[in-house]
Structure 1
């Protein structure tokens, strides 16, 4: 890691040189050697993963606190290649990675995997309902975003866009492994819509080998306004969440552990538009909608100290999401027309998804010749069951899968690290009212990086995956034996080094060019001349840049950018319109943050987000630049001693803008203040 640099080794070498002088010059005692503390070169907001060939970004607890996010989506929008469909509220929002994932019609296209503590969460392609990732950012301590297929084969299939991995907080994060109680209280206020958030965490460690955490979060957000002061319809929400998590270690040297976690989120909305992407009821009218999300995991780990070949994890997870909705009579202008009998089952439909998954995985470290291996391999069984409902577009059914996977990180010791990955998946999908279909697929890829001694690195990867048929498509038999297929290629270079421009600075950057081709497409259509045509193939390509620079003085800078293009092919479209620009491509974006830390007590930063105009779309959008200001204070004295105070000013100049792919205007100027303290 290049964020900090220790001079301890240099000081010890100097001491050793002095100690090597003739004994007549001096007599040395080991107690005379003084180990000085490490000197840090400073740090930026986020690490750049220059040691890996995969396109990976990790958002840690410090950055999560700094961003004061209302939703999970708002935590990841600063990652290059990640674009939000709306995002300021959980309903009507979604995550798009490299052009795949959420869109303005569905909250998910099944090409972005989302896992919470290893449990697969989210539902399928619910029409005009958002991401279904209803949970609270305060429950989590880090988020890992894998862009593209690289690194996805041990988590699932069909990750054409990428993978989002969320990890919940542990009691030891607050007790530091010491016996006793710790309590952390966080309060946050947001001026736009008078948003209020309270997070209360109780961490208890009765022994060195057992820990328990309880976390309750209440988040209430009122109706927000845009940069012109206009009300943003369908932006208010009320979402209480809670979580309990316990872990016990036992056996010789604590080589066994058992972890149990349960998270629960509720969202109740009254008289809101059925179309959660819109701001008004429109033709669909309004509904009363209750959403209940539950995630439970039970994980056993065996990692004996005397064997590098065994690091066994057995995990059973369960995710349940219920969306109960009922139409508000008289809210649709079509209620008295002949179209209403077609729409009423859709707006009155209830949905429930239950996903049960058992994963058995082992990690082995071993050496063959001059190469060292870190191999992860296992078997996974999963079953997703969708309850029957009255909406023809949302059929009930069961999707059962059995998968085998292996990923081997091979370090040849000469600068080369090569990581092949394979996954085989067998699927049975169907329902008693339709029929059952069998599909199977082998998928995999390889990534490689060569690290030069001077800090430079070159890397590349190639991958292939298949997105298996989904329950939503049971009404279209032709789709049930046609997995969507994709291949991707990445090529890039990286650099990470200290003492680049001065004797006390640190620089790291990573540049990645990528290309993704998707065929046998069943997820997308293209509107041409008022008619809709199925898309057969999609080709995308882009360039991502991640960079950071920091100095021992506390100055730091972060930069992220993404430029992407995409084309579609629709064979059934009229001649001359069979090729065109793919509508899922986000606008080109540059994000720059500049800040200054004053020790550990004060952190001040300014961030600019620049989006280029998007004209390669049937719904073009203009470019914009917004500015965000953030400040963190950790007082040592007074009434706020040992607490954390964060101030944020988002969209500082009250800009009116709608990001490309979004369906409603973004919030205007928003002031946020957060107070947190651990007792």
Structure 2
């Protein structure tokens, strides 16, 4: 699709169409989901830029990683590809970058547990898990919907929800489950995923999942092997839920998920395709999340209480493979070996208490969410590997009040957060012998305001302004001049959004439906502590400014033909202290994704997806040519005889074998070439 066609959609920013259904009970700016005729549900009736990838689409896309799954969301970029350890998530130009898998400006949660936020050199986002464990992935873009989840969030929030036993038993006592087998031609990849669900009685349910994913080295569109693209990851999920009380007002949910990879003789640098200067390592990656949530939801609009206790634990152990680095035997090698011979561990314990109350005061209806968050992040000391140790204790209070006055909705949000960092080892400057303080404290008050107006004819407009601060993190500990400056500074960001949506049916033909939503955004980041001037190791940027347009649309006929559109156009600028500027190195590309499909009830779904990307750059900042990728997908659900309960899915990704490098990826890491995928699922 020509990019001038995508830019022409700016004129449509004030349109969106849909048919609302039940409101969500998740915290944040609470909107209403829209069931569209296409593959994806869109949000309607909210100022929040929110996209939900449900279980149906998770299965439909047959993705190898969660990052690979959500790069179809407007403004989201998958950085450095197709492996769990190497791929990173960038939203609106923030998140994963060409050096670290995280810049603290996006938050990732699994059942409420905070994961994937460590700044590890040349390692991906650490969202190290398997898509088969999840029933839903929610992407919140920008700052305005982030105040219930953290501070310093500029790009957005990724929230993953694991599967439930009731998904397989229908919510009634009994036994259920599913078995999925999947094969991928490129790299001879295969997956087996087993779900076993049991509800012994009303109010008790149990689920076990085991998934094993194996992939060999992929080939690009030119038929060349993509180095460092093979992996093998066993994953598991155990989940239990108990509902009790006379009216079932009490519930207690436990979930534990884990993914492990034991890789031998692989490059340390996960962004590259070979060992390079760092050489190869034996790497064990072990990530686990454990969550216990209590909910009290009586027959009262004033009480919907949740207590979520989570623990996230990640270990990455490296052992250098002798002889694999060209620097071995040189004076530089002793400094390098500390990086590639390391044992790293990151533990995050968090308790979130929140209550949602709905009430009316005069002419104003309130939907009020208030909460308290206590968090401790504990990191083992590994200074030689660029990961200083210590603890970070945080206390936060947040409140979000969605107030409706007739056709107007006003939603103020506030978050106060206090942080205390304590070093694991004394901070002593080796050159001067000066010992610095062992603990540092800081706090911040941040918030935003969202406005929406519903014209009552399917058209609504919205806008928001949000301000956030990123408090210093454990990675800012150190004795260098850069570390000393950053530890006493909070990074600040402001985001403005403006958009509209329109809903309607029977527009061009009887029984048709259309959903169209557009959002303009502008973000300014200053007092920067996470990005240095290009070519510098100690001078931070003065500020970063980004802006763009996001568009999501779905149109469907009563007969089953549908069309989905997702697009993003934007750019960014980074400003140096001296007054010079350059293109923002992490800006998302201009991208349009168009899907044309046809459904025959629930039995058959055929679709053709075209993804065109322009204004691309690689990890070194060099321009890349535009790319167009075609993907074909088919789903068949027979409902007769012994085949009832089966699903057959077939996909052909990059059907024309396009040879290209993904936006912000390393020049040597090309995208996979033509890939045939087939999966068979049997539910019981």
Tell me the TM-score normalised to structure 1 length.
0.92
Show CA shifts across 1:130-177 (max 9, x none): 111111101100011000012110111111000000000110111111
In the alignment, does 2:193 pair up with 1:199?
yes
Cα distance in 2, alignment partners of residues 587 and 580 from structure 1: 16
Shift of residue 390 of structure 1?
4.8
Which residue is 2:276 aligned to?
282
Which residue is 1:657 aligned to?
660
In the alignment, does 2:374 pair up with 1:369?
no
Give the alignment partner of residue 448 of structure 2, picking from 439, 445, 467. 445
Cα distance in 2, alignment partners of residues 448 and 87 from structure 1: 38
In the alignment, does 2:556 pair up with 1:550?
yes
Which residue is 2:610 aligned to?
608
Secondary structure at 1:184's aligned position in 2? strand
Shift of residue 584 of structure 1?
0.5
* Segment of structure 1 superposing worse, 385-394 or 290-299: 385-394
Cα distance in 2, alignment partners of residues 423 and 534 from structure 1: 27
Show CA shifts across 1:558-594 (max 9, x none): 101111111111115xx7xx21111000221001001
In the alignment, does 2:403 pair up with 1:416?
no
Secondary structure at 1:346's aligned position in 2? helix
Q: Is the 8 A contact 2:36 2:554 kept in 1?
A: no
Cα distance in 1, alignment partners of residues 83 and 277 from structure 2: 22
Q: Is the 8 A contact 1:487 1:516 kept in 2?
A: yes
Which residue is 1:394 aligned to?
387
Shift of residue 599 of structure 1?
1.3
Cα distance in 2, alignment partners of residues 398 and 531 from structure 1: 26
In the alignment, does 2:676 pair up with 1:671?
yes
Q: Is the 8 A contact 2:17 2:502 kept in 1?
A: no
Q: Is the 8 A contact 2:490 2:527 kept in 1?
A: yes
Which residue is 1:215 aligned to?
209
Which residue is 2:249 aligned to?
255
Shift of residue 4 of structure 1?
6.1
Secondary structure at 2:247's aligned position in 1? helix
The change in CA–CA distance for 1:393 and 1:301 in structure 2 (over 3 A counts) is same
Shift of residue 87 of structure 1?
3.1
Cα distance in 1, alignment partners of residues 253 and 617 from structure 2: 50
Number of residue-to-residue matches in the alignment: 639
Which residue is 2:418 aligned to?
426
Shift of residue 430 of structure 1?
2.5
Show CA shifts across 1:360-379 (max 9, x none): 11110100112211111011
Cα distance in 1, alignment partners of residues 450 and 633 from structure 2: 37
Task: Tell me which structure has the larger Cα radius of gyration.
Answer: 1
Which residue is 1:34 aligned to?
none
Give the alignment partner of residue 467 of structure 1, picking from 470, 488, 493. 470
Which residue is 1:52 aligned to?
46
In the alignment, does 2:133 pair up with 1:139?
yes
The change in CA–CA distance for 1:401 and 1:108 in structure 2 (over 3 A counts) is same
Show CA shifts across 1:503-546 (max 9, x none): 21001111111000000111112325x88742121011111111
In the alignment, does 2:321 pair up with 1:345?
no
Shift of residue 239 of structure 1?
0.5
Which residue is 1:503 aligned to?
510
Shift of residue 123 of structure 1?
3.6
CA-based RMSD of the aligned residues comes to: 1.8
Cα distance in 2, alignment partners of residues 459 and 5 from structure 1: 17
Show CA shifts across 1:422-467 (max 9, x none): 0000000121423210000000001111111111111100000011
Shift of residue 388 of structure 1?
1.2
Cα distance in 2, alignment partners of residues 291 and 90 from structure 1: 10
Which residue is 1:568 aligned to?
574
Which residue is 2:25 aligned to?
none
Secondary structure at 1:63's aligned position in 2? helix
Shift of residue 3 of structure 1?
5.6
Secondary structure at 1:453's aligned position in 2? coil
Which residue is 1:538 aligned to?
544
Secondary structure at 2:123's aligned position in 1? coil
Q: Is the 8 A contact 1:3 1:47 kept in 2?
A: no
Q: Is the 8 A contact 2:36 2:555 kept in 1?
A: no
Shift of residue 640 of structure 1?
3.5
In the alignment, does 2:529 pair up with 1:513?
no
Secondary structure at 1:174's aligned position in 2? helix
Show CA shifts across 1:8-60 (max 9, x none): xxxxxxxxxxxxxxxxxxxxxxxxxxxxxxxx997111122131111100111
Q: Is the 8 A contact 2:36 2:42 kept in 1?
A: no
In the alignment, does 2:592 pair up with 1:590?
yes
Which residue is 2:459 aligned to?
456
Aligned pairs for 1:22-101 within 5 A: 43-101=37-95
Q: Which runs of 5+ in 2 are unaligned?
A: 1-15, 22-33, 428-437
Shift of residue 636 of structure 1?
2.7
Cα distance in 2, alignment partners of residues 5 and 480 from structure 1: 47
Cα distance in 2, alignment partners of residues 535 and 354 from structure 1: 31
Give the alignment partner of residue 523 of structure 1, picking from 516, 530, 533. 530
Q: Is the 8 A contact 1:609 1:626 kept in 2?
A: yes
Q: Is the 8 A contact 1:430 1:474 kept in 2?
A: no
Which residue is 2:492 aligned to?
485
Shift of residue 5 of structure 1?
9.2
Which residue is 1:149 aligned to?
143
Shift of residue 618 of structure 1?
3.3
In the alignment, does 2:108 pair up with 1:108?
no
The change in CA–CA distance for 1:41 and 1:320 in structure 2 (over 3 A counts) is closer
Cα distance in 2, alignment partners of residues 41 and 510 from structure 1: 14
Shift of residue 638 of structure 1?
6.0
Which residue is 1:636 aligned to?
639
Cα distance in 1, alignment partners of residues 234 and 217 from structure 2: 17
Aligned pairs for 1:290-309 within 5 A: 290-305=284-299, 307-309=300-302
Q: Is the 8 A contact 2:211 2:236 kept in 1?
A: yes
| Larger RCO (alpha carbons 8 Å, 6+ apart) | 2
Cα distance in 2, alignment partners of residues 613 and 110 from structure 1: 25
Cα distance in 2, alignment partners of residues 244 and 226 from structure 1: 37
Give the alignment partner of residue 599 of structure 1, picking from 598, 601, 614. 601
Show CA shifts across 1:203-232 (max 9, x none): 100011100000110111111010001111
Give the alignment partner of residue 229 of structure 2, picking from 229, 235, 241. 235
Q: Is the 8 A contact 1:41 1:504 kept in 2?
A: no
Cα distance in 2, alignment partners of residues 566 and 41 from structure 1: 33
Show CA shifts across 1:273-320 (max 9, x none): 111000010011001100000100111111111x11111111110000
Cα distance in 2, alignment partners of residues 387 and 592 from structure 1: 46
Which residue is 2:158 aligned to?
164
